[in-house]
Structure 1
Amino acid sequence: MKNNVYVDINVLQTVPSSNLNRDDAGAPKTALYGGVSRARVSSQSWKRAVRKAFEANDVTIAKRTKKVPQLLSAAIKTLVPEMTDKDVLTKVQAIFKATGIKIAVPKDGEDGRYETGALLMVSPGQIEKLAQYAVDHESLDDKDAKKEIKALIKGDQAIDLALFGRMVADNPELNVDAATQVAHALSTHEVVPEFDYYTALDDAKEEDQNGAAMLGTIEFNSATLYRYANINMHELSHNLGAEDAITGAVNFIKTFMLSMPSGKQNTFANKTLPSYVMVTVRPDTPVNLVSAFEEPVVSRDGYMKQSEAKLEAAYQKITDQELVEKPLLNVVLSDYDTTAGQKIETLPKFLDAITESLKEAVQDEDTNN
């Protein structure tokens, strides 16, 4: 890999009547961009969708929870079933004291549900290795032990922890820098909110009783969304190692493409697939092409084709103006013809092309080093 290698993921996807990501009033989130209201899906919402999709596909992911002390306690107990609860708690307290992360310890007579003060993201492998270290070592508070314990809680990262990072307020030394940035998805056009007025009938009511047992409204919209994320391959390699970083990056690209937040999914059944995906491997800087839609698409014949044309024009403009270096790779998976890069017909071949490009980048770094 060259010193800086970034992967840009640009996705265009139409979503019918839906409420993917709600605000505090239950309405679909929106944003004002280019002087008009756009449909918006927050980056946090889509990152959770990616994590859930990883899990559904049997990819090991981290847990983000306050119950890490309980997870560690259970792991120690699994290794040494005969260890008393008091001795287990002592071990857990010593581990967390070494990390500098504060935990709330139960008072006498309580059931041992001790927790961290804030959510903490940890990989299963980190829990297992911390438990094994606690079992194998009597002293957990000397200088060397503290150093080794901190290394364990930063090593063996699950893919979502390596991609999305971790902040530890109690000890920033344990932070993990995110290797991926995910933008809020925005519609490429203006969106006007709509309302579904619904009623529910009582199936057991008497025949002569009229009217609904419940009524209400749900706000929704329909949109062609521009979705963007990027991957810092140098950072991901730092978190996972070079070989696993390539596998992890390609896995993320596929999962980001195919995942969708589950908000009101049972109500609208709005699960669609992207109509256009462009992935660019860059040697200098990531580029979000949302400016292509600062002037909103206006159409009565669908938004997708015009959105693709505007997106590719924006890509070509920055390339022709040499605002960025020539990409190492630019591939497109699309329902339409493309002028921006190499069009690939199937998802497996698309992912293979990206994999080969990233492997070459890794070899370049090995050669330079």
Structure 2
Amino acid sequence: MSSPRFLQIHTLHSYTAALLNRDDTGLAKRLTYGGASRTRISSQCLKRHWRMEKDDPHALRHLAGYVDSFRSRELVTLRVIDPLRGHYPDEIVNALEPEFQILVYGDKADKGKKSRQTLLLGEPELTWLAQEAAALAQASSDADSAKKAAAEWRKSKNYKTMSENAALPGGLAAALFGRMVTSDPAANIDAPVHVAHAFTVHEEEAEGDYFTAVDDLKTDEDDGGADTIQETELTSGLFYGYVVIDLPGLIANCSGDKEIAARVVHNLVHLIAEVSPGAKLGSTAPYGRADLMLIEAGDRQPRSLAGAFRRAIPHDLDHAVTELDRHLARLDQTYETGEARRYLSLADTDLTAAGGLEKTSLKALAEWSAERVKDAPDA
């Protein structure tokens, strides 16, 4: 096989009596596929849990060279302007703020929070902005001079100037999952990690959960029964998940450093396998690890294996592995793309496509994936 350009990560995860990802009505997210309604976990939900994980030993923030980032409409207010208050007169600080809001969020950003796009900025960009704001405040004698100096300052500033001399200006989250800035298209960062919505391989399994809360301080004279009565939805499912990593794109976003990119992939494989995208932790304990993880390295355009589950199948891991294996074998026979593969599995049924695949542990699978980054072509 030639130098791998893509890593494709396929997973099967089981969750029971959980509400992993809700819509605006409080019900589980769904999609219809193959004529059957399935339970869904959105890609945004998955990415956020992998990005925000703090306690796992493989959390991205534990990586050497990690650069933090923050997503908000109030990045300028909270990280650039508010730290100046108490050190400089409020009238000077207030005069500076509109120009900084416009630089980051665009022409109408000084009209208030609702006029701003929710943006992701890296720690280096925010640090630079805070230093520039402090310098302007220091040099200003009153509100008028501050306003004039800030307007003149902004004329020659853009996202490029914010990012100079920083290896990961937008932070690691932007390097992985990208960034879109409508006020400055040159600040956009292409996402090298592409995440599909996960869905159940079988028809949705859901029920309403009627529950009550009892007032512990009620006396015998009070009316009996529950103090609170509510209902929520619980679902169970075996979810197919799919992630693609564009290796040259990831390496480029890591400033060409393959070592950093390899460490990122190593930890991301662990996070995808082990971090659950679950809410309602106290009442459902929605924790699970991958029942199956198949990783492919190749130089051809990626393709999902979701077609294995176009026809809803029974909620059974061995059945799902069999269907995945059959679909993979048909793709190999038809397209002969020659990906290198490794996988882990808790199923009794093994993957046998392409004459058999090497079955291994998560630790070995993550290490194998990291090595493929080092073999990848440069961007």
TM-score (norm 2): 0.81
Note the 1:277-292 alignment, pairs <5 A: 277-292=293-308
Write the letter of the residue equivalent to 1:169: T
Note the 1:313-332 alignment, pairs <5 A: 313-322=326-335, 325-327=337-339, 329-332=340-343
- Quote the residue 1:44 is aligned against: 44
| CA deviation map 1:176-205 (0-9, x unaligned) | 211121111110111242122212222222
Moved more, 179-188 or 201-210: 201-210
| Offset of residue 54 of structure 1 | 5.1
| Offset of residue 245 of structure 1 | 2.3
User: Which sections of structure 2, spanning at least 5 residues, go unmatched?
Assistant: 137-148
- Quote the residue 1:101 is aligned against: 106
- Quote the residue 1:228 is aligned against: 242
| Offset of residue 256 of structure 1 | 2.0
Asked if the contact 1:10/1:226 (under 8 Å) is kept, the reply is: yes
Note the 1:42-121 alignment, pairs <5 A: 42-53=42-53, 57=59, 58-59=61-62, 60-73=67-80, 77=84, 84-88=89-93, 93-95=98-100, 97-98=102-103, 101-102=106-107, 104-105=109-110, 117-121=116-120
Among residues 292, 315, 338, which one is paired with 1:276 in the alignment? 292
Asked if the contact 1:76/1:132 (under 8 Å) is kept, the reply is: no
Aligned residues: 350
| Offset of residue 119 of structure 1 | 0.9
Asked if the contact 1:72/1:127 (under 8 Å) is kept, the reply is: yes
**Matches of 1:227 and 1:22, distance apart in 2:** 18
Residue 140 of structure 1 aligns to a residue whose secondary structure is helix
- Quote the residue 1:12 is aligned against: 12
**Matches of 2:83 and 2:4, distance apart in 1:** 41
| CA deviation map 1:86-131 (0-9, x unaligned) | 555565555555567246448xxxxxx9787121111112211333
- Quote the residue 2:198 is aligned against: 185
| Offset of residue 305 of structure 1 | 0.9
1:247 corresponds to 2:263: yes
| Offset of residue 135 of structure 1 | 5.8
- Quote the residue 1:293 is aligned against: 309
Asked if the contact 1:63/1:123 (under 8 Å) is kept, the reply is: yes
Asked if the contact 1:39/1:223 (under 8 Å) is kept, the reply is: yes
Identical-pair percentage? 25
Asked if the contact 1:54/1:255 (under 8 Å) is kept, the reply is: no
**Matches of 2:51 and 2:110, distance apart in 1:** 30
Alpha carbons of 1:133 and 1:339: their partners in 2 closer, same or farther (altered >3 Å)? Answer: farther
Asked if the contact 1:332/1:342 (under 8 Å) is kept, the reply is: yes
**Matches of 1:233 and 1:15, distance apart in 2:** 30
**Matches of 1:193 and 1:40, distance apart in 2:** 12
Asked if the contact 1:162/1:236 (under 8 Å) is kept, the reply is: yes
| CA deviation map 1:146-181 (0-9, x unaligned) | 475254499523221111111212222222211121
**Matches of 2:3 and 2:128, distance apart in 1:** 32
- Quote the residue 2:188 is aligned against: 175
User: Which sections of structure 1, spanning at least 5 residues, go unmatched?
Assistant: 107-112
Alpha carbons of 1:207 and 1:342: their partners in 2 closer, same or farther (altered >3 Å)? Answer: same
Moved more, 131-140 or 261-270: 131-140
Alpha carbons of 1:359 and 1:116: their partners in 2 closer, same or farther (altered >3 Å)? Answer: farther
Residue 321 of structure 1 aligns to a residue whose secondary structure is helix
Write the letter of the residue equivalent to 2:11: V
Asked if the contact 1:70/1:114 (under 8 Å) is kept, the reply is: no
Moved more, 176-185 or 1-10: 1-10
| Offset of residue 71 of structure 1 | 4.1
**Matches of 1:116 and 1:344, distance apart in 2:** 52
**Matches of 2:25 and 2:82, distance apart in 1:** 41
| Offset of residue 353 of structure 1 | 0.9
- Quote the residue 1:109 is aligned against: none
**Matches of 1:178 and 1:322, distance apart in 2:** 27
| CA deviation map 1:227-286 (0-9, x unaligned) | 111111222222212322222233222212222223222211121111100111121212
1:213 corresponds to 2:227: yes
Residue 207 of structure 1 aligns to a residue whose secondary structure is coil
Alpha carbons of 1:100 and 1:185: their partners in 2 closer, same or farther (altered >3 Å)? Answer: closer
Residue 47 of structure 2 aligns to a residue whose secondary structure is helix
